[in-house]
């Protein structure tokens, strides 16, 4: 009863003016399964709303009534492609042979989706009349139609396998893939290696191609080297996987196509080509890979660099070129003389001075094998190449270069002449003395300066009188260099000139020191000259950054070193050296070092704590203890809140907190355990009451730090009754008098 009411209600709603209501009514009639609904639904197939027509077709498919065949055949000519598609699907379900010819007509239309639906429907109907049209559809431009036609032909029965096999060579990868899957589903097995390779390529199983060996090379290359238009059909990552297979096969025939792939737009494909080239290892790829080091894509540059690092070439020259390309100049040394010419060529083309210096260093490391090419480079048209060759020869100290270098002293270029003079001094050959003496009279002050420096290096007594004459040179720098040279020759007159020109009282530190003054100081120090007063010796030591030399001057060195410590322009590396010197200078150093405990650089704080422990001054106890307790609270997770614009413990910014805490702990133990004679009882008690948990946690950081300082044999007896356990333990462990 209720079914009948619902049926009538849905039929009535099919006449509604609202398309949504009509669509719901058609759906409801299909769900009822009442054959009385066939006629109303046939009428609905001609509804003005395409969604109603679609729903009516689906509902008729549910009812499976033969009366719907002719109306559905008419519906496959509908203007809406989805109505066509659904009508074809329902006709397949109904299984009426009257639908075959209309479906064949639909198969030949231009809309791909209804065509594919028609192919699937014809396969389900199983009528042999469809075999010809379906075979023709195998050559369709759309892979969905090709795949559906292939499936349909298989459903039609025997005699179609060969037709589907032909599809394995289709230009479209999706069509090939569909054909391969159809053949796989019906259990088709390739008869020979060529068929197996074609089948594997169609499936995209390139590992299976590798198993077939070198026979797979040509088919894989054909697939890999598609034209741009055909390449659009290849799915993402296919070229990468083919490149990988080619690399594993290792055949040189793949080199050129893989080199061509280095220009692909997809950087993953380019990277796969690089890896394949590395696997094959043919040196023809070195040039293109070297060019790829300048690729605009960062990933490609990195990939090419890593590939060249792994490259194993049998040719020494190729290995040299690779080493130069990736800036591994040290690898050139093992190749010997074959590396010299490429290195000199690289020096000519390289714009970066750091790289040029590295090349020059490598040429020196090559030793005597590079002398002949470097001698030839002395005649190069590029000035900077001549200079590099001269300097390298100077490092090598090979006598064969002396003649050419002497000739360069009269070169037209001023800087080249100066370089030649400098190198002759480094080589140390006596043949150069007379030409260098003559160079002292050249018009260029740069040449005169270089000749004086070289004569000082040669230490030939023939140069004394010419150098004495140079002390009256019109240029002050030349005069000073002549005095330095005389000093190196052991002539007192040179020493006197340098001392007179020093102006020790104006020396501050190395940052304001001129090159000439530094050379003068170094020359004087080299001959054992010592200023008469301690302050001058301190100033000279600081100017030469020899902070350790200040220690032997005692308290007079404290103020200059403390001034350096407070100078914001001094780098932290130099400050560490200053701190180490202050640790030996007693009481004046304590307050500046305590001030450093608040520094945001943990390494400076660590060295300051070490120095305070070494100085043994009671003034350091409270600052060390206070900061260490704050650190301990933070370490144990206690809540530390630092309101804005208020004090923030410096350890918050330390990146080596544990090392600093250990240094402070050690300093405190040194101060307590050594029994300070100038420490008050409250100071000692203050330190001893540091929380046990803090001491224990610090001990656990590094047990090797538990060996601190040797005991002070003269320490007074201490009362340990109120000391915390870690301090008591340390005192007893050391055998202190308690």
Q: For 645-688, write each residue's pLDDT tens digit.
A: 344 444 444 555 667 677 776 776 666 555 543 444 454 444 44
Q: Distances from the Cα of 13 to the Cαs of 44, 61, 383, 650, in angstroms?
A: 11, 20, 98, 82
Side-chain-facing half-sphere of 577: CA atoms under 13 Å: 14
Q: What is the pLDDT of residue 64?
A: 84
Q: How many whole angstroms separate alpha carbon 9 and alpha carbon 454? A: 117
Which spans in 489-571 are helix H?
Answer: 492-502, 515-526, 534-543, 558-565
**Which CATH number is 189-312 given?**
1.25.10.10
Which spans in 428-475 are helix H?
Answer: 433-439, 445-458, 464-470
Q: What is the pLDDT of residue 672?
A: 58
Q: How many whole angstroms separate alpha carbon 608 and alpha carbon 674? A: 19
> What is the signed CA dihedral for 72, 73, 78, 83, rounded to 10 degrees?
40
Tokens of residue 86, six digits = 């659904």
Q: Which residue in 235, 230, 229, 288 sits closest to 258, CA to CA?
A: 288
Q: Which residues contact 332 (CB under 8 A, 6 or more apart)?
A: 320, 323, 324, 339, 342, 343, 362, 366
Say whether 72 sits in a helix, a strand or coil. Answer: helix
Tokens of residue 349, six digits = 């083309």
Report the 10 Å Cβ neighbour count for 724. 16
For the packed helices 476-488 and 515-526, what is the interaxial angle rounded to 10 degrees?
Answer: 20
How would you label 505-514 residue by residue, b for 16+ Cβ within 10 Å and e otherwise?
eebebeeebe
Q: Which residue in 493, 421, 439, 485 sits closest to 459, CA to CA?
A: 485
Q: Which residues contact 70 (CB under 8 A, 6 or more apart)?
A: 98
Q: How many whole angstroms separate alpha carbon 297 and alpha carbon 299? A: 6
Q: Distances from the Cα of 463 to the Cαs of 29, 196, 428, 467, 479, in angstroms?
A: 121, 88, 13, 6, 14
Say whether 473 sits in a helix, a strand or coil. Answer: coil
Domain locations along the chain: 189-312, 586-738
How does DSSP classify residue 716? Answer: P
The answer to whether the Cα torsion of 154, 156, 161, 166 is positive or negative is negative
Q: Which residue in 243, 293, 248 sits closest to 268, CA to CA?
A: 243
Residues of the chain with pLDDT under 70: 1-4, 157-160, 163, 226-236, 412, 504-513, 568, 628-658, 660, 665, 668-738
Report the 10 Å Cβ neighbour count for 639. 6
């Amino acid at each position: 009863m209720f079914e009948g009411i619902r049926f009538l209600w849905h039929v009535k709603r099919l006449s509604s003016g609202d398309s949504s209501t009509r669509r719901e009514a058609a759906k409801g009639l299909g769900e009822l399964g009442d054959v009385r609904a066939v006629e109303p639904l046939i009428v609905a197939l001609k509804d003005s709303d395409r969604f109603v027509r679609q729903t009516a077709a689906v509902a008729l498919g549910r009812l499976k009534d033969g009366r719907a065949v002719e109306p559905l055949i008419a519906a496959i000519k509908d203007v809406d492609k989805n109505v066509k598609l659904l009508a074809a699907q329902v006709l397949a379900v109904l299984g009426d042979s009257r639908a075959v010819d209309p479906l064949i007509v639909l198969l030949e239309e231009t809309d791909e989706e209804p065509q594919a639906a028609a192919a699937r429907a014809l396969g389900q109907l199983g009528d042999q009349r469809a075999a010809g049209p379906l075979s023709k559809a195998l050559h369709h431009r759309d892979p969905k139609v090709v795949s559906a036609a292939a499936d349909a032909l298989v459903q039609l029965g025997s005699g179609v396998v060969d037709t589907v096999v032909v599809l394995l060579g289709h230009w479209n990868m999706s069509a090939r893939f569909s054909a391969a899957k159809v053949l796989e589903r019906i259990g088709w097995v390739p008869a020979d290696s060529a068929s197996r390779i074609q089948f594997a390529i169609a499936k995209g199983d390139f590992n299976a191609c590798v198993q077939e060996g070198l026979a797979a090379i040509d088919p894989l290359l054909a697939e890999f080297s598609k034209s741009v238009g055909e390449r659009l059909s290849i799915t993402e990552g296919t070229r990468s996987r083919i490149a990988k297979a080619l690399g594993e096969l290792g055949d040189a025939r793949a080199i050129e196509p893989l080199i061509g792939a280095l220009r692909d737009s997809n950087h993953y494909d380019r990277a796969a080509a690089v890896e394949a080239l590395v696997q094959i290892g043919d040196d023809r790829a070195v040039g293109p890979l070297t060019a790829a080091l300048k690729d605009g894509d960062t990933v490609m540059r990195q990939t090419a660099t890593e590939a060249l690092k792994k490259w194993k070439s049998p040719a020494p020259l190729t290995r040299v070129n690779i080493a130069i390309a990736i800036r591994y100049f040290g690898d050139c040394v093992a190749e010997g003389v074959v590396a010299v010419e490429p290195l000199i060529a690289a020096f000519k083309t390289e714009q970066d001075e750091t790289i040029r210096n590295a090349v020059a260093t490598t040429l020196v490391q090559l030793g005597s094998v590079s002398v002949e090419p470097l001698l030839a480079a002395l005649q190069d048209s590029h000035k900077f190449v001549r200079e590099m060759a001269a300097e390298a020869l100077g490092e090598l100290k090979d006598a064969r270069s002396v003649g050419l270098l002497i000739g360069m002293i009269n070169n037209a270029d001023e800087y080249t002449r100066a370089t030649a003079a400098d190198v002759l001094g480094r080589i140390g050959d006596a043949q150069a003395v007379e030409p260098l003496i003559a160079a002292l009279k050249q018009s260029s002050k740069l040449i005169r300066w270089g000749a004086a420096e070289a004569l000082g290096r040669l230490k030939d007594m023939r140069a004394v009188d010419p150098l004495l004459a140079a002390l009256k040179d019109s240029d002050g720098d030349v005069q000073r260099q002549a005095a330095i040279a005389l000093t190196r020759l052991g002539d007192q007159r040179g020493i006197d000139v340098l001392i007179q020109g020093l102006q020790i009282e104006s020396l501050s530190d190395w940052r304001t020191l001129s090159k000439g003054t530094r050379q003068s100081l170094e020359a004087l120090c080299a001959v054992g000259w010592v200023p008469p007063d301690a302050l001058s010796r301190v100033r000279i030591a600081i100017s030469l950054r020899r902070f350790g030399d200040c220690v032997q001057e005692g308290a007079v060195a404290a103020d200059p070193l403390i001034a350096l410590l407070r100078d914001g322009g001094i780098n932290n590396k130099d400050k560490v050296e200053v701190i180490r010197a202050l640790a030996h200078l007693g009481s004046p150093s304590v307050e500046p070092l305590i001030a450093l405990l608040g520094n945001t650089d943990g390494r400076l704080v660590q060295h300051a704590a070490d120095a305070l422990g070494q100085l043994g001054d009671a003034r350091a106890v409270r600052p060390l203890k206070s900061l260490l307790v704050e650190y301990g609270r933070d370490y144990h997770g206690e809540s530390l809140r630092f309101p804005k614009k208020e004090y923030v413990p410096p350890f918050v910014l330390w990146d080596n907190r544990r090392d600093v805490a250990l240094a402070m702990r050690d300093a405190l133990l040194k101060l307590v355990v050594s029994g300070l004679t100038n420490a008050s009882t409250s100071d000692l008690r203050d330190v001893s009451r540091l929380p046990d948990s803090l001491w224990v946690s610090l001990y656990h950081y590094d047990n090797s730090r538990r060996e601190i300082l040797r005991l002070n044999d003269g320490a007074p007896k201490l009362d340990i009754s109120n000391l915390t356990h870690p301090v008591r333990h340390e005192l007893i462990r050391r055998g202190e008098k308690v």
